[in-house]
Amino acid sequence: MILHSHHGAKYSLRYCAAGRAFNAFARAVLTIGLFLFAVAAEAGERPVVLALGDSLTAGYGLPPGKAFPAQLQAALGAHGVDVKVINGGVSGDTSAGGLARLDWLLNEQPDLVIVELGANDGLRGLDPAVTRDNLDRIIARIREAGARVLLTGMLAPPNLGADFGESFNAIYPDLAQRHGTAFYPFFLEGVAMDPALNQEDGIHPTAEGVAVIVGKLLPAVLDGLAEAVK
């Protein structure tokens, strides 16, 4: 996802309230999550998280073990949570690609699926209505399989115009509300447009950038897992 610097303040303000809300409840979520995982561990269960996404999930340009799924699993482990996190990211993938390979990935029987898709749809200027339909079907299919969904939002490239941006950016909160799923407004929150946290292409986070994403997303992941193992 390409985000130009002169739009940074607008994006930051738009999502700072959601970020503060996650931080405010982080400790409570961690406490509840750790308790439930302790119960699950006693029962001999190991929850499974599927990270379904594109290059931001796959770990494009990163050393082994530094992609989002690996860092997320390490962060969960540091909190005493023994979880298997599957890297279901494919570089260059669109929402259509994610939908096409979803059934195969669901054979892993995940308890929680983090959906991080749509950035490449936006970059290619694909019809937002098509992206919306693909994501709608992805969420429905995951729920039919009995897994929880954590939908992560994305933003349209500003150069495609206000109308496109308005239609694209509304996809994620609308679908989260429609399906009643957990929702994290912007996957790249705190990382987008920061040269210190992105690779030279200005699109893909460095290992340090991924660590920021994981840290901000962790409470939502724990919350989703806590619901899944009840």
Instruction: Give the pLDDT confidence of 152-184 residue by residue, as tens digits.
Output: 999 999 999 999 999 999 999 999 999 999 999
* Mean pLDDT within 77-102: 97
Respond yes or no: is residue 91 known to be catalytic: no
Respond yes or no: is residue 204 known to be catalytic: yes
In this structure, what DSSP letter does residue 54 have? Answer: S
Distance CA 85, CA 219 (A): 15
Q: Which listed residue (54, 55, 95, 111) is catalytic?
A: 55
Respond yes or no: is residue 55 known to be catalytic: yes
* Site of tokens 């979803």: 102
- Side-chain half-sphere exposure of 191, counting CA atoms within 13 A: 27
Q: Which listed residue (54, 121, 204, 223) is catalytic?
A: 204
CA-CA distances (angstroms) from residue 137 to 54, 89, 101, 168? 17, 18, 12, 16
Pick the closest to residue 106 from 55, 140, 56 (CA basis). 140
Give yes or no for residue 197 having a pLDDT over 60. Answer: yes
pTM above 0.75, yes or no: yes
CATH architecture of the region 5-228 = 3-Layer(aba) Sandwich (3.40)
Query: Residue 5 CA to chain centroid, in angstroms?
Result: 22
Domain residues of the chain, as ranges? 5-228
